[in-house]
Amino acid sequence: MRLRRTLGWPRGDTRLTCLFDRPMTLTSQSYIETRIEALLGRWEGRWFDISSGGKAAPPPPSEEPVPERLHALTLPEREGAQEHLIVTHGNGMTAATHANLALALAEANPNIQPWLVDTRGHGRSTLSLDPAKLRDFKRYSADLKAFCRGLPGRLHFIGHSMGALLAMREATDLCAETPERVGSLILLEPTLLSRSLYAAMTVGHYIPSLMRRLNPLIKPAARRRPAWESWSQMFASYEDKELFAAFDPDSFAGYLATGIKASQFGVALSCAPAVEAANFQWLDLSLWGTIKRRRTIRDVPTLLAYGKLTGSTVSQGRVAEVEALFRNLTVLGVDDADHFLPMTHVELLQRELLRFHQSLPQG
């Protein structure tokens, strides 16, 4: 079964420009702080020892040396649920950015326990990562595999950008072993570049200077400001950034809740700029070959949601390939969205994700 939907204002409607062609300012700092308090009051942190197969572990102490742990937020009242919702985030972000999407699905299904997983080098996870040695996404995938193997029952995945690639790879690997454990897969703006750009980037993995020319995100990520003297200074520095001004307030609060950490001199990014730049440099380009070889993933109910504005990482040609690859696919194109669709169109996605989950087979 394949279903294609396009959402947005009618062509020519001036409301199409509402997010990008007008001056924007951030929601007030005090309001965002109340949203952060609400999020952390509802969600609870859990830590996992990846070296022991993803077993639950106590929170790491603040003093050095900090033990290596994977971090995930969850709803404590859902302990013992029969199914699990795994949320993975994009490069430089944190999974708490998507707490509002996960909460909508969890509230509609009391048998699902959501997990907002911070990738190695991001959020509150303390797993070590040397960006100078990064050459692929294998360590990220191994971390997610260990975490998922520690969860019983059926798993559902939601991933944005890099997180969509990680979710797709884990779902593919899990399907090869126990296909009945994968309940659904939601891909929000995954990296589905044109074939020509994929080919060029494959060469770029062997010629770093070429990759830096092909991917304009590498240099800005490396130059990103890493720290501030205070929380207020950090917030003020974001006031003139249109990216965050377009975010839903709860998405922005989720990012700040786990994407900013206390440091020796004030506050700092949880994801170091060098890590974000390295992820752009060594983008995982091998996934599609894996999916084509392991055919069991093709029958998993899958939703692909992407924006149609400049800045989307989903090319129209690759959408057609995905439609040919997955047998049980829903495609959702949003006219007035770009790569940050899950942060700027939260209410729309909540409705569509609920519609998708309500259509899933039971059991």
Asked, for residue 6, whether it belongs to a domain, the answer is yes
**Rounded to an integer, what distance in angstroms lies between the CA atom of residue 278 and that of residue 219?**
10
* Contact status, residue 42 vs residue 33, Cβ threshold 8 Å: no
The closest alpha carbon to 255, from 123, 80, 167, belongs to: 123
How many independent structural domains does the chain possess? 1
Dist CA 315 CA 57 (whole Å):
41
In-domain check, residue 345? yes
- Indicate the pairing of strand 266-269 with strand 227-228: antiparallel
pLDDT at site 15: 29
Q: Tell whether 178 is covered by a domain.
A: yes
**Which is nearest to 160 in space by CA: 190, 124, 132, 185?**
190
- Residue 98 falls inside a structural domain: yes
Note whether residue 323 is domain-resident.
yes
**Cα-flanking dihedrals φ and ψ of residue 247, to 5°?**
-70, 145
CA distance 248 to 271: 21
CB atoms inside a 10 Å sphere around CB 250: 23
In a domain, residue 363? The reply is: no
Query: CA 274, CA 219: separation in Å to the nearest integer?
Result: 10
Q: CB neighbours (10 Å) of residue 331?
A: 21
* CB burial of residue 17 (10 Å; 0-12, 13-18, 19+): exposed
Distance CA 197, CA 104 (A): 36
Mean pLDDT per 10-residue interval, the chain, length 363 residues: 53 33 62 94 95 85 81 92 96 97 95 97 96 93 95 96 95 92 96 80 83 88 95 88 88 96 93 96 79 81 95 87 89 95 97 96 74
Cβ contact 273:220 at 8 Å: no
What is the distance between the alpha carbons of residues 125 and 289, in angstroms, rounded to a whole number? Answer: 30
Which structural domain, as residue segments, surrounds residue 152? Answer: 2-358
Nearest residue to 45 (alpha-carbon basis) of 117, 150, 109: 117
136, 139, 144, 149 alpha-carbon torsion, rounded to 10°: 130
Q: What is the CATH number of the domain that holds 109?
A: 3.40.50.1820
pLDDT value at position 77?
87
**In sequence order, which residues have a C-beta less than 8 Å from that of residue 139 and are 6 or more positions away?**
120, 129
Residue 95 covered by a domain: yes
